[in-house]
Amino acid sequence: MKDALMTFRVDSQLREQFMDAADKNHLPAAQLLRDFMRKYVTYVQKPALNEAETRRRRDAAKFAQANVGLEGFKISADEEQWTERYIRGEITMDEFIKGN
């Protein structure tokens, strides 16, 4: 496989923040970008869930929300968004359970 060079513009403040974050985690910025690209390609190429699976996930989420509500709790907006990502098939059950 032949390597290719990519050049693109990015806000200087964002670049600096990204480089600092990578450095704090002892990771090369280029490695992080390659990892992101691989994950994005996998995400885009992932087949969409069929209607039955989407319905099953939505019904399970509604049931869980109802149970939480019966206990006197309410899920946060972030948790609702995370649940929607699972329902749409953007994340797996394992990822959903681990949380965002």
The pLDDT of residue 100 is 67
**63 and 93 both lie in a single domain:** yes
Same domain? 90 vs 63: yes
**pLDDT value at position 42?**
83
Q: How many domains does the chain have?
A: 2
Domain limits for position 22 = 12-45
Residues 36 and 61 in one domain: no
Show the beta-strand stretches assigned E in the chain: none
Structure tokens given for 61:
């989420």
Assess whether 41 and 55 both reside in one domain: no
For the stretch 6-45, what's the b/e string if a residue is b when 16 or more beta carbons lie within 10 angstroms of its beta carbon?
eeeeeeeeeeeeeeeebeeeeeeeeeeeeeeeeeeeeeee
pLDDT of residue 76: 92
Domain of residue 58, CATH code: 1.10.8
pLDDT per 10-residue tile (average), the chain, 100 residues: 92 97 96 94 82 94 94 92 92 86
Judge whether 33 lies within some domain.
Answer: yes
Q: What is the DSSP letter of 34?
A: H
Within-domain flag for 27: yes
